[in-house]
Amino acid sequence: MQTVRVALGSRGYPIYIGRGLITRIDLLLPLLPQRRVAVLTNTIVARLYLDGVARALEQAGVDCVQVVVPDGEDHKDWQTLNMIFDTLLAKRCDRQIAIIALGGGVIGDLAGFAAATYQRGVPYIQLPTTLLAQVDSSVGGKTAINHPRGKNMIGAFHQPIAVVSDVGALATLPVRELRAGLAEVIKHGAILDATFFDWLEGNAERLLRQEEDALTYAVMRSVQIKAEIVALDERESGLRALLNFGHTFGHAIELGLGYGQWLHGEAIAAGMVMAAHLSTQLGLLDARAADRLRRLLSQVGLPTVGPPLEIDRYLDLMAVDKKAVAGRVRFVLLERLGKATLGDAVPLPTLQATLRACSGRSPTDT
């Protein structure tokens, strides 16, 4: 088992990474305010892991309120959140309850936001079961629900009290989701660690074959990079924004197609290609580096072109005010592999050229 610590003073917490950790309640016991938790999961993950987790909790003498919600990004909304509150209140959970998020990024975001707002805030623990959640969303305390007008528009910064990443759980992950998770792993290399990027190029096949030591290393290194950034800029006033590489474009893709059509990681993959193209156009990034990024994403089976939306639709979705300079929207750009920077003065024609060059076909019609 590897341990990474997020250094946030009184809000700091451990991240445990290894095989078979999902039922290691002994890791959680010292952190619980009382011998009662609420486990939030979805119908898919419940079938795989809920019984095991609930039994382990019970054996440890911890009372377990179960909340099972429908699967999918389109349920990351107020309606589902309210269902969670209904259950917590019906079961008379008080401010000492800890919420355990058992599932992927949607469950983590929902559970985290429920924990941030239930009775003005209760503790929560992340038990991420997808690669995407293990390498990204479970760490850093960003919680949210979606709004019809935008993804993650309603939320809070609320740090978990622990993250337990069981890489064994990735064995049950559909390959499409494994690939989507690799998008964020590749992102971490691209923006901050060229050596890690090199390693990913050399180990892509091992990761796709789900070799445990490769996965453990990829999760650990991703989490270390993210934990460092979060410790320096918890509330995203600067540095942390670099983690949004590919996300301005990616969110537009997700929103334009309707949440859940493309997986988050798929949208981010195409978005990173766009952001790298934009960086190249602006003279920041060598075209060969942009190509290396595109090839690595392609190698792990991720889309490298955006869906065929109108350019104006893309601009609308990115909230670009077309009367002003496109620069009103801030982009994360690359200077080289391993070094990202913020850009907020992108000329509209340049942005339009990138969108034209990098969109056209959806992954389902290739």
Shortest reach from residue 312's CB to a second copy, in Å: 17
Closest CB 169 distance from a second copy, rounded Å? 28
Does position 90 interact with a second copy (CB under 8 A)? The reply is yes
Check if the beta carbon of residue 74 is closer than 8 Å to that of residue 39.
no
Kindly state the smallest distance separating residue 158's Cβ from a second copy, in Å: 9
- List the catalytic residues: 120, 142, 184, 226, 236, 240, 244, 247, 251, 264
The least CB distance from residue 254 to a second copy, in Å, is 16
Longest dimension (CA), the chain: 62
Q: Is 233 in the site for a second copy (CB under 8 A)?
A: no
Minimum CB separation from a second copy for residue 161, in Å? 15
Q: Which of 92, 202, 283, 323 is close enough to bind a second copy by CB under 8 A?
A: 92
Q: Judged by CB under 8 A, which of 69, 97, 111, 118 binds a second copy?
A: 118
* Nearest to 294, CA basis, from 207, 201, 223: 201
86 binds a second copy (CB under 8 A): yes
26 versus 92: smaller Cβ distance to a second copy: 92
Q: Which helix (H) or strand (E) holds 90?
A: helix 78-90
Question: Which residue from 329, 355, 358 is spatially nearest to 344, judged by alpha carbons?
Answer: 329
CA gap 137, 361 in Å, rounded: 28
Q: Which of 20, 35, 78, 291 binds a second copy (CB under 8 A)?
A: 78
Element containing residue 210 per DSSP (H, E): none
Number of Cα atoms under 13 Å in the Cβ half of residue 170:
32
Query: 3-state class of 43 per DSSP?
Result: helix
Asked whether position 342 contacts a second copy by CB under 8 A, the answer is: no
Nearest to 341 by CA among 249, 226, 239, 236: 239
Torsions phi, psi for 141 (to 5 deg) = 80, 10
Is residue 116 near a second copy by the rule CB under 8 A? Answer: yes
Give, as ranges, the residues between 234 and 293 that touch a second copy (CB under 8 A): 235
> With the C-alpha atoms ordered 86, 90, 95, 96, is the resulting torsion angle positive or negative?
negative
CA distance 316 to 333: 20
Options 85, 172, 203, 292; binder of a second copy; rule CB under 8 A: 85
Distance, in Å, from the CA atom of 204 to the CA atom of 215, rounded to the nearest integer, reads 10
Stretch that binds a second copy, among 48-56, 80-88, 126-134, 261-269 (CB under 8 A): 80-88
Does 324 sit near a second copy (CB under 8 A)? Answer: no
Q: Which is nearer to a second copy, 156 or 357 (CB)?
A: 156
- The nearest distance, CB 109 to a second copy, in angstroms, is 11
Choice between 8 and 357, CB closer to a second copy:
8
Comparison of 319 and 353: residue with beta carbon closer to a second copy:
319
Which residue in the set 144, 229, 285, 351 belongs to the binding site for a second copy (CB under 8 A)? 144
Q: Which is nearer to a second copy, 92 or 365 (CB)?
A: 92
**Residue labelled with tokens 């050229």:** 353
Yes or no: say if 271 and 250 are a contact pair by the CB < 8 Å rule.
yes
Distance (Å, rounded) from C-alpha 43 to C-alpha 303?
28
What HEC string does 247-258 produce?
A: HHHHHHHHHHHC
156 binds a second copy (CB under 8 A): yes
The residue ranges that bind a second copy (CB under 8 A) are 78, 82, 85-86, 89-90, 92, 113, 116-121, 142-144, 147, 149-150, 152-157, 235, 319, 321
